[in-house]
């Protein structure tokens, strides 16, 4: 059993003293810093709309996180890790919408 954790964020035009494009990259960098926080993380990818659109691909949200964990316990450990919790204030300040789905496969 693998747990997939997918989150998408739409960002404000201006927030936290920066424009949307800057905050897309900031959020991506902050998320990627969380990639190896806990054992049981199998896959961890972050992409931005700017990257997708530069390649002619569709993007209706600004940032997406696709991650896989070996168990619900590993996902819970990631979500409660202090370094992950620490980025939540920034995310809350820059996002206008969020979508999330976790599922087993």
Q: Positive or negative CA dihedral for 7, 13, 17, 21?
A: positive
pTM: 0.95
Pair 84, 34: CB distance under 8 Å = yes
Cα 25 from Cα 48, distance rounded (Å): 8
User: In the chain, where are the structural domains located?
Assistant: 3-104
Confidence of residue 46 (pLDDT cuts 50, 70, 90): very high
What average pLDDT does range 24-33 have in this prediction?
98
Where does 3-104 sit in CATH, by number? 3.30.70.100
- Mean pLDDT score of the chain, rounded to an integer? 97
Radius of gyration in angstroms for the set of CA atoms belonging to the chain, rounded to a whole number: 14
What average pLDDT does range 32-37 have in this prediction?
97
Residue whose token pair is 């590993």: 74
What average pLDDT does range 31-51 have in this prediction?
98
């Amino acid at each position: 059993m693998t747990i997939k954790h997918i989150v998408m964020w739409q960002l404000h035009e201006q927030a936290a003293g920066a424009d949307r494009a800057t905050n897309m990259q900031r959020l991506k960098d902050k998320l990627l810093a969380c990639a190896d926080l806990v054992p049981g993380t199998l896959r961890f990818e972050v992409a931005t709309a700017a990257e997708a659109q530069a390649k002619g691909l569709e993007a209706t949200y600004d940032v997406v996180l696709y991650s896989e964990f070996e168990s619900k316990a590993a996902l819970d450990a990631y979500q409660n890790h202090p370094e992950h919790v620490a980025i939540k204030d920034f995310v809350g300040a820059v996002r206008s919408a969020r979508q999330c789905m976790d599922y087993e496969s």
